[in-house]
A and B are shown apart, each in its own frame.
Chain A
Amino acid sequence: MGIEIRDVHKAFGSKEVLRGFSAEAHDGETLVILGGSGSGKSVTLKHIVGLLAPDRGEVWVDGLRVDELDREGLFELRRNVGYVFQFAALFDSMTVAENVGMGLKRLTGVSKEDRMRRVEECLERVDMVGYGERLPAELSGGQKKRVGIARAIATEPRYILYDEPTTGLDPMTRAVIDQLINRMKAELGVTGIVITHDMESAFRVADRFAMIHDGKQQFQGSPDEIRSSADPMVRAFIEGRPELIEEAE
């Protein structure tokens, strides 16, 4: 059934971050949300798992309206949504294996043996076998991101949200993370939303694009459509040429 963000408004104090943003991710596809720094991409993602509630508008996941779910409903929803944080957000006092197994501990009916087996499987999927006993402080930025992905897929969610998964990584590691995102979709059939301003990475993983500007949807369409878009704002962003906006004005 996918994820649908409908006309969401969100302000923090007097600062309006989202001013009627809408986007949708269909089942089995990867939607990339583009936007500059501070444009509200992360805020949008946090609405999908109920970490933030919209001031106005609606967020739907799997046919459930997120902003109207009660505590138990939210917990149930979150079991179906994996979240990969920008800086991995690994629990620094826990080992890699404990981090990956955290979500599984909350599931009833999963024995310790099953949990450990699942943790190993997830680490294998992200090519991190043998790192289970290490602490996050002993990992590189790219390794932390991979562990973050392993943690997100551990509970076999139907959706994965990636918050700037390639920011701050070298080109080789960025390509590895992009391959992982595509593998998660192909092997696990998950629906993904990736927020990024890294265009190279975006074109590698996107089935569709949405662009956020000034708190609203500036564009939604396929990779071919965004490449051929005549919108100066879109072109300026994907080509990295801010002068196009000035020329259009």
Chain B
Amino acid sequence: MVGLGQWGRMVWEAIVSLRDVDVWLGLTLRQLTRVGVDSVPIALFIAMFTGIVLALQASYTFTGAIPLYFVGVLVGKTMMLELGPVLTGLALSGRVGANISAELGTMRVTEQIDALETMAYPPVAYLVVPRVLAGIIMFPLVTALAIGVGIAAGWLTSLQLLDMSTYEFVYGLTLFFQPFDVTFAMVKTISFGFVVTSIGCFYGFRTRGGAEGVGRSTTQAVVVSSMVILVLDAFWAITLL
């Protein structure tokens, strides 16, 4: 509970620090690349194989009982509502959350954060705001790409291995599609982007004790943000579906 309160205080300070536009604006552009663009390969790799497996498992389950175009329904709905956002969130909690925590943790134990303060830089505006903004902006974009690639992989698998036509797959894909599905996926990923980056910053900022402390903070950041992603996943399903 103490940690939750301290995290909340840091988030509040980040909101207040939004007024220091001159400090965070330029740095945010750099973080957009580091948090977003650099995460695309791992997110797409995971999404591609998830799409392939989803199509094959759907076909295996449905054969003889349900028309095969339901493969398109399952691949589309599952990628968009669940696996696209959650798997991308978990992958990025490892890549982005760990990176942020290790970087800020090292800065903390080598007094670089103190040095920033002594040069009149507000550290939360300089270090936290750009990373959290980049997470909120880039997680949805990376997830949207991952969903697209996952569905495309499912479609190609259906054509090549399941003897389905493009018409059947697309028919299934669009059969139960609702625009709200996109909204639901984006709400989830924005919240995941926020928690992964803010938790990474939080554990990085409170690092103590040299290299061992940096390692401990990094592990905690990944474990806690992964758990929070799963809790949020259930929360959004309960409240929005």
Chain A residues lying within 8 Å of B117, measured Cβ to Cβ, are 49, 51, 78
Closest to A154 in B: B119
Question: How far in angstroms is the closest Cβ of chain A from B10?
Answer: 15
**B1 close to chain A: CB less than 8 A:** no
Per-residue interface assignment for chain B, residues 80 to 122, with 1 indicating a CB less than 8 Å from any chain A CB and 0 otherwise? 0000000000000000000000000000001110110111111
Instruction: Select which of A49, A76, A92 is within 8 A of B118 by beta carbon.
Output: A49
Beta-carbon contact of A83 and B118 below 8 Å: yes
Within 8 A of A (CB), among B104-146: 110-112, 114-115, 117-122
Question: B114 contacts A46, CB within 8 Å?
Answer: yes
A79 within 8 A of B: yes
**A67-86 CB contacts (< 8 Å) to partner B:** 71, 75-76, 78-79, 81-83, 85-86
Q: Which residues of A contact B112 (CB under 8 A)?
A: 89-92
The answer for the CA separation of A203 and B112 in the assembled complex, in Å, is 29
Q: Is the CB of B119 within 8 A of A85?
A: no
| A79 shortest CB reach to chain B, Å | 6
Residues of A within 8 A of B120 (CB): 75-76, 78-79, 103, 106
Question: What DSSP secondary structure best describes chain B's contact surface?
Answer: loop
Among the interface residues B117, B119, B121, which one has the most CB atoms of the partner chain A within 10 A? B119
How many residue pairs link A and B with beta carbons under 8 A? The number is 46
Q: Which residue of A lies closest to B119 (CB)?
A: A103
Expressed in whole angstroms, the minimum distance between the Cβ of A137 and any Cβ of chain B is 12
Which one of A79, A82, A85, A106 contacts B114 once the chains associate, using CB atoms below 8 Å? A85
| Residue in B closest to A108 when the chains form the complex, CB atoms | B22
A78 adjacent to B111 (CB under 8 Å): no
User: Which of B111, B114, B117, B121 gathers most chain A CB within 10 Å?
Assistant: B111
Instruction: Give the shortest distance, in Å, between B76 (CB) and chain A (any CB).
Output: 42
Contacts of A81 on B, CB cut-off 8 Å? 118
Contact check, A91 vs B115: say whether CB atoms are below 8 A apart: yes
Shortest distance between the CB of B58 and any CB in chain A (Å): 46
Q: Which residues of B contact A76 (CB under 8 A)?
A: 120
Please tell me if the beta carbons of B119 and A89 are within 8 angstroms of each other in the complex.
no
User: Could you say which residues of chain B place their CB within 8 Å of the CB of A71?
Assistant: 122
Most buried by A among B110, B112, B118, B121: B118
Please tell me if the beta carbons of A89 and B115 are within 8 angstroms of each other in the complex: yes
A103 CA to B120 CA, complexed, in Å:
7
What's the least CB distance linking A96 to chain B, in Å?
14
Contact A86 B111 (CB under 8 A): yes
Q: How far is the CA of A78 from the CA of B120 in the complex (A)?
A: 6
- A89 touching B114 by the CB < 8 A rule? yes
Q: Which residues of A contact B111 (CB under 8 A)?
A: 85-87, 89
- With both beta carbons as reference points, the residue of chain B lying nearest to A99 in the complex is identified as B115
Can you name the residue of chain B whose Cβ is closest to the Cβ of A75?
A: B120
Q: Is the C-beta of A102 less than 8 angstroms from some C-beta in chain B?
A: yes
Given the complex of chains A and B, what is the CA–CA distance between A86 and B112 in angstroms?
11
Shortest Cβ distance from residue B64 to the other chain A in the assembled complex, whole angstroms: 59
Query: Which residue of chain B is the closest to A81 with respect to CB atoms?
Result: B118
Interface pair A106/B115, CB less than 8 Å apart: no
Q: A87-B110, A89-B110 are in contact. Are A78 and B118 (CB under 8 A)?
A: yes
Instruction: Kindly provide the distance from the CB of B221 to the nearest chain A CB, expressed in whole angstroms.
Output: 20
A51 contacts B110, C-beta separation under 8 Å: no
Question: Shortest Cβ distance from B25 into chain A, in angstroms?
Answer: 13
In whole angstroms, how far apart are the Cα atoms of A5 and B38 in the complex? 49
State how many angstroms separate the Cβ of B129 from the closest Cβ of chain A: 15
Does the CB pair B121–A83 fall under 8 Å? no
How distant is A47 from chain B, measured CB to nearest CB, in Å? 12
Q: CB-CB < 8 A to A85: which residues of B?
A: 111, 114-115
Which residue numbers of A lie inside 8 Å of B, CB to CB?
A: 46, 49, 51, 71, 75-76, 78-79, 81-83, 85-87, 89-92, 102-103, 106, 151, 155
Closest 3 A/B residue pairs (Cβ)? A89-B111, A83-B118, A89-B115
Residue positions of B touching A, CB distance < 8 A: 110-112, 114-115, 117-122
A–B pairs, 6, beta carbons within 8 Å: A49-B117, A75-B120, A75-B122, A78-B117, A81-B118, A87-B111
Additional pairs, 5, CB under 8 Å, beyond known A83-B118, A90-B115: A51-B114, A75-B122, A82-B118, A85-B115, A92-B112
